[in-house]
Structure 1
């Protein structure tokens, strides 16, 4: 089997390999729907239940708390029990959580259902990067791992386009119901199509848990990756969660504010699909740093320039290109640093630590906004973690990058 795997790494990708990478893309596409639908619905949820921005921030953070637990608990199990089983368990959780929110009639149940949805997403996100890497040949591995991350913003774009027309017509509950139906469909598809890779099946199952990531060889990379993910997720999820609401508060109608969120994700799709290929050509660490420095710069422009509608759309799109696209450069980095037998564990713990920043960021943004801190100060403040992430990744000692 080792000879077969070696041949697969150097040979052109087969139709089945392409299908498995495509399935990873669509699972990430589904995650983009399930995460961002709450952002596109946030102003209507606030209106229906009379919530403050702080309370809405807790809804964002409930999903992120679930994602954090899923990264720590479900993703490492994929190294022990197989990728396919974890995908199925996670998709079932997501489907149930989306249907739960669709029929929720109070604030507290929404918190609970968003936590369950996040738990499932936390199991999927690290595992799709791992699976795509295993099914890719050497030539396209970095590109494919970056490309599947574009599924997330593309799912968010379509969600925004649909929500802009659907929510005023049918309401936000119906939007969540349709999203739940798509998650259920993905569950059925994975059940019948997905197989664990030969690379995974050939590896001896090693001891699981954080100890395998803190060996003498891996520890210098591991702690840097954890810090980088924490700071990157802090800003990334704050921007994704609050951009539509900020636009609406500036006086834009609901539909136009939704399109600002779509603009962010158009940029994210461009950045996510390009960073893997550019990283393979120019070096992942160097490319990632350039993206993060650019994201920091664009956020300063958003903070200090006199804004009109057109400029808001342009700057938000470039924030998506460099902030989310640049952040997604971490996935091919992780797939290179951690070997197959512990890859899901390594990615899972990195994303789990990062999710702590994702929980903190939107909640702090909501609290500061309720305390009348202006958007200029907020954008300057939340641009700094991106610069820190870029500097940390630039100092990774691994020679594989």
Structure 2
């Protein structure tokens, strides 16, 4: 057997492979905390600088705009220079952005540093998604992907408990960003020591010494080694990362995933970015309001985990569409408001339970729909377009509150929930099967069809 991807697919997972998955979960959790750190800090920022909701929405969107740029620019870097190098570079950028955000003296510098942090997060998401897809066996991939995706809300849970029980109690909002900078820096040596470059990356890039590099990665995972790589016909068109938009099979997958994900993130980030501020304005303290987002992320983690098992049984399409539509109901219900803190927590819990489960479906579709040579580029492009929705979400909600009034939570929530309705329609139209198989790299597996 001289195909490293089939070797990874068909052999049982080793301890090193699971260790890599755990590191990817931790990196996704770090991304989740970094993104939500501005939401935890939002009431304190507003109180210290007197920032109105419409302007605060721009601050909350800064890292999301950066994530869009980072996903496109640094996602391509992961396909060109490697997943590991890209992750290390992104960690450095994120640590710098988080540190200087804590020292910001006004809205403008804070917004700029949050934008820089977002660039690092965007590139990180594209690379880590590819690593999970390329280091897991076929039988374990759907569960590993679900565990990876729930790392994002898990970071919110851990960060939420740290914020409400410690950082916001003992210090102020600046401590949230400083905490994120320290944890980000700690992850750099862990990635350097534990995560090897993926065999699929070396297989796709070829080049001098490709077999030796592939075998080094296979040895790290405790897998059989290869003697040679299957020759590629010189008369066949050479695959390019631009195929995501020019290849007749990949283009509709790319565009439907990109715009479907974009509309869903409008709904998804409405809860993540505004829940703390909404609950604080309902008369609860800043730590109490932050706890709402903690419970929202607990819901997201549980929803993502359960969805992973559903996806293993029923594949991707049906469960994802169901969660998208249930998310519409849950986000709209959030708009009815609550009289008690536990009422707010439960509404946020169910909103994120459903919306994050749908995110798991999308991430699995990214891994399945793009071939290895363009997987990080395709994922990065989809995430980049998707961040347009994420970045616009807090801004749209902020202006809706200004236009309709802060007391009109229900109509604002119902409007924001419509993003997931459009997303469900686009996901219904999605043609999806194994990206590598469709391009002739390995036999198609009918079980991996949507």
Query: TM-score, normalized by length of structure 2?
Result: 0.86
Q: Does structure 1 conserve the Cα–Cα contact (< 8 Å) formed by 2:201 and 2:373?
A: yes
- The CA RMSD measured in Å over matched residues stands at 1.7
1:255 aligns with 2:287: yes
Q: Does structure 2 conserve the Cα–Cα contact (< 8 Å) formed by 1:214 and 1:222?
A: no
By how many angstroms is 1:296 displaced? 1.1
Q: Does structure 1 conserve the Cα–Cα contact (< 8 Å) formed by 2:150 and 2:300?
A: yes
1:298 aligns with 2:330: yes
**Matched residue, 1:76:** 76
How many Å separate the matches in 1 of 2:140 and 2:319? 17
**Matched residue, 2:432:** 398
How many Å separate the matches in 1 of 2:108 and 2:350? 36
How many Å separate the matches in 2 of 1:369 and 1:322? 24
Q: Does structure 1 conserve the Cα–Cα contact (< 8 Å) formed by 2:62 and 2:111?
A: yes
Sort the Cα spacing of 1:306 and 1:247 in 2 relative to 1 into closer, same or farther, 3 A: closer
1:95 aligns with 2:127: no
By how many angstroms is 1:57 displaced? 1.0
By how many angstroms is 1:209 displaced? 4.8
Q: Does structure 2 conserve the Cα–Cα contact (< 8 Å) formed by 1:102 and 1:177?
A: yes
**Matched residue, 2:270:** 238
SS of aligned partner of 1:147:
helix
By how many angstroms is 1:349 displaced? 0.4
How many Å separate the matches in 1 of 2:321 and 2:250? 21
How many Å separate the matches in 1 of 2:44 and 2:379? 35
By how many angstroms is 1:211 displaced? 4.1
SS of aligned partner of 1:328:
helix
Give unpaired runs (5+ residues) of structure 2.
207-237, 434-448
Sort the Cα spacing of 1:369 and 1:272 in 2 relative to 1 into closer, same or farther, 3 A: same
**Matched residue, 1:343:** 375
By how many angstroms is 1:191 displaced? 2.1
1:318 aligns with 2:350: yes
SS of aligned partner of 2:96:
helix
SS of aligned partner of 1:216:
coil
By how many angstroms is 1:220 displaced? 2.0
Sort the Cα spacing of 1:162 and 1:28 in 2 relative to 1 into closer, same or farther, 3 A: same
By how many angstroms is 1:94 displaced? 0.2
Sort the Cα spacing of 1:29 and 1:307 in 2 relative to 1 into closer, same or farther, 3 A: same
Matches within 5 A, 1:1-400: 2-165=2-165, 166-204=167-205, 208-304=240-336, 308-373=340-405, 374-399=408-433, 400=449
How many Å separate the matches in 2 of 1:4 and 1:72? 27
Structure ID, larger Rg: 2
Q: Does structure 2 conserve the Cα–Cα contact (< 8 Å) formed by 1:293 and 1:390?
A: yes
Please identify which structure carries the higher helix content.
1
Q: Does structure 2 conserve the Cα–Cα contact (< 8 Å) formed by 1:146 and 1:273?
A: yes
How many Å separate the matches in 2 of 1:2 and 1:58? 51
Query: TM-score, normalized by length of structure 1?
Result: 0.96
How many Å separate the matches in 2 of 1:8 and 1:344? 18
How many Å separate the matches in 1 of 2:46 and 2:296? 22
SS of aligned partner of 2:432:
coil
**206-215 or 322-331, which moves further after superposition?**
206-215
How many Å separate the matches in 1 of 2:31 and 2:397? 23
Give unpaired runs (5+ residues) of structure 1.
none
By how many angstroms is 1:204 displaced? 3.3
In the TM superposition, what whole-angstrom CA distance separates every residue of 1:150-185 from its partner, at most 9, and x where no partner exists? Answer: 111111111111111321321121221121010011
Aligned length: 401
SS of aligned partner of 1:150:
helix
How many Å separate the matches in 1 of 2:258 and 2:421? 15
By how many angstroms is 1:56 displaced? 1.2
